[in-house]
Amino acid sequence: MHTIREKITLFLTALAYLMFHLRVGADAEAIVIGTAAQMLLTTPYALGFTYIVAVAFRRLSNKGWLPWDRLLRVFFTVGILFAFFFALYEYAGQGQPLTDRSLDADSSAARFFEDVLRKAR
Closest alpha carbon to 65 in 53, 77, 47? 53
- Is 119 in contact with 95 (CB distance < 8 Å)? no
Task: Give pLDDT tens digits for 84-120.
Answer: 988 888 777 664 444 444 444 455 556 666 766 777 6
d(CA 31, CA 11): 22
Query: What is the model's pTM?
Result: 0.70
d(CA 117, CA 87): 26
Task: Give pLDDT tens digits for 51-85.
Answer: 999 999 999 988 888 889 899 999 999 999 999 98
Burial of 76 (0-12, 13-18, 19+ CB in 10 A): buried
